[in-house]
Amino acid sequence: MGRKQLFEPRNGTAAAWASANPVLDAGEFGIASDSGVYKLGDGATPWNSLPGFGGAVVTVAEGEGIDPSGATDSTAAIQALINATGSEGGIIWFPLGTYSITTLTLLQNIWLMGAGPSNNPNTQVKFQPVAGIGATNAMLSVTGAFQGQVRISRIELDGTNGGSPYTYGLYFPTEGAFLSDYPILDQVRIYNFPGGTGLFYGGNRGGLVTHDLNIGNCQIGANLGGSDSLHWHPTFASNTEYGFWVQGSMTRIIGMDCFANTVGGRISINDCYLYGFSFDQNQHQGLIVDNVVQANYNVNIEGRFFTNGEAANATYAHLDISAASPGGVIVGPSTTFEGTGDGNLNTVSWDVYTNGVSFYDYSVGISNAANGHTDGPNLVTVAPGSPNSPVTVAAYTFKANDVGQTVAGNSASAQSFTVDKHTTTPYPLGAVIAVRQLGAGQISFAGATGVTLLTSNAAKTRAQYSLVTLSQDPVTLDTWYVDGDT
């Protein structure tokens, strides 16, 4: 067994660190001995500009102007505790109770932690508005240009008391003002902001991360404008406009429940991913996708749509790809459309690729023309495992439903197979097509105008029964690689 090696990180008081403001080596730890904050060096950034972690733990107690019964205003006392953490930050721990506030401003490296179990409204720490307050921007807000993480755990924001005066429940400002490193919301409930938005995330250098976020009874549940955010198992329920609205690229939502909203959700940006979701009993559309401006399948969704579009005399689709602009959506193979609603998928001038999607309780799977819905011109549906007949003609252009299958050429004479340009035939991202030469006629491969084929040998089959694969470059889309028995 190897000998243990001990190391002692650099340490000193918070004041000493701030005064010296040294540059830590890359990977070097420094600890403020009195506050408990530690920082990790990168070899370039001075101590005062590095994000800090940890910090002192402050327990909220009665008798300090903080009332866990909710009968009196605790704003000033709680804000004083937040301010006292300074730039080094710290953890403020709240015993079970209800705390009446007007608005709290969160500072860098602060962690608000409640004592209650996860997402239990009966036993969770709750913030509520002071009765009778006037119009206010947000119950909790993050302001100022600074670095450092903000974290909130096991706390409920409830806007019902006092007439719901807030524009936002929790507010993160827009890009440029707030430079936090991946703010985290863990087991946070935001409810009863009927005239406003439960969560507004304007964006920052590091994307928002949430776990078990639960938002309901707001106008918009969550307005996710910042880029590069990740949301595990969120719930959006009974919101009067949208359960959520994604306006920041690289937003990933996994394991979501979205039910009983007017519209379940809306995506208005490129590069978004929704997996393992359930859109259920939303009055109008389950999901709207619009304003995706790159035609290379930038929105990927896979999950369950069930009994959406139940508003009286309405004509709403479960999935409504509604903007007449170029873009692309992949509907994954485990997606199902079930129950009521008016048609499953409504598209307008969009590239849409559906691979093995299941439709239930409908005579028309992809849109309902009788109610004014029309298929987009580039709508492609694929049933995996459905074999194509051998190609016997001299010239053939690959179709989208050739992807994932083996296309057989069976002719005594030479054949030419062409890969189409992506904007003309929207092959799914990273498509692979296999080709078998069954007949005596050799098969050669070519690209349509604007398509490049790359191979280490010849772009054609070598002999009868040769198998060749053509693989799309998922970045350029119109570059393909020819491999196999050439």
One DSSP character per residue, 368-406 reads -GGGT----TEEEEE-TT-PPPPB-SSEEE--GGGTTSE
Q: What is the pLDDT at residue 142?
A: 81
Concatenated DSSP letters of 454-466: E-SS-SB--STT-
Task: Please state which of the ranges 6-20, 49-63, 106-120 shows the lowest mean pLDDT.
Answer: 49-63
Is-contact 291 267, C-beta < 8 A? no
Report which of residues 432 and 340 the model is more confident about: 432
Task: Please state which of the ranges 130-134, 311-315, 329-333, 469-473 shows the lowest mean pLDDT.
Answer: 311-315
| DSSP 8-state code for residue 161 | T
Report for 47-61, 131-145, 196-210, 438-452: range of highest mean pLDDT: 438-452
CB atoms within 10 A of CB 4: 5
Nearest CA-CA partner of 127 in 67, 167, 43: 67
pLDDT mean over 54-61: 62
- Residue 456 one-letter amino acid: S
Number of H helices, E strands in the chain: 2, 42
Q: How far is CA 71 from CA 93, 120, 124, 160, 169, in A?
A: 20, 21, 17, 15, 20
Q: What is the pLDDT at residue 93?
A: 84
Mean of per-residue pLDDT scores for the chain: 79
Report for 95-99, 332-336, 355-359: range of highest mean pLDDT: 95-99
pLDDT mean over 32-59: 72
Q: Which helix (H) or strand (E) holds 18?
A: helix 14-20
| DSSP 8-state code for residue 164 | -
pTM (two decimals): 0.68
Task: Please state which of the ranges 74-78, 144-148, 215-219, 249-253 shows the lowest mean pLDDT.
Answer: 144-148
Is-contact 74 105, C-beta < 8 A? no
Q: What is the pLDDT at residue 59?
A: 66
Q: Is CATH 2.60.120.640 the classification given to domain 395-484?
A: yes
Q: What is the pLDDT at residue 163?
A: 62
Is-contact 201 173, C-beta < 8 A? no
Task: Using the predicted structure, report yes or no on whether residue 389 has a pLDDT greater than 70.
Answer: yes
Q: Which fold has domain 56-382?
A: Pectate Lyase C-like (2.160.20)
CB atoms within 10 A of CB 111: 22
Instruction: Please tell me the distance from the alpha carbon of residue 77 to that of residue 64, in angstroms, as a whole number.
Output: 7
pLDDT mean over 94-114: 88
pLDDT mean over 419-448: 88
Instruction: Please tell me the distance from the alpha carbon of residue 249 to that of residue 270, in angstroms, as a whole number.
Output: 5
Instruction: Please tell me the distance from the alpha carbon of residue 386 to that of residue 377, in angstroms, as a whole number.
Output: 23
Q: What is the pLDDT at residue 262?
A: 93
- 359 pLDDT band, cuts 50/70/90, is low
Domain range annotation of the chain: 10-50, 56-382, 395-484
Task: Please state which of the ranges 140-154, 223-237, 310-324 shows the lowest mean pLDDT.
Answer: 310-324
Task: Using the predicted structure, report yes or no on whether residue 330 has a pLDDT greater than 90.
Answer: no
Concatenated DSSP letters of 19-86: HH-PBPPTT-EEEETTT-EEEE--SSSBGGGS--EE-EEEE--TTSS--TTSSSB-HHHHHHHHHHTG
Token pair 């402050």 in the structure block, residue: 58
SS3 249: coil
Q: Which sign does the torsion angle of CA 349, 354, 359, 363 carry?
A: positive
- Secondary structure, 3-state, 262-319: CEEEEECCCCEEEEEEEEECCCCCCEEECCCCCCCCCEEEEEEEECCCCCCCCCCCCE
Longest Cα–Cα distance in the chain:
94
- 322 pLDDT band, cuts 50/70/90, is low
Nearest CA-CA partner of 332 in 353, 349, 317, 318: 353
Token pair of 152 as six digits = 């909130």
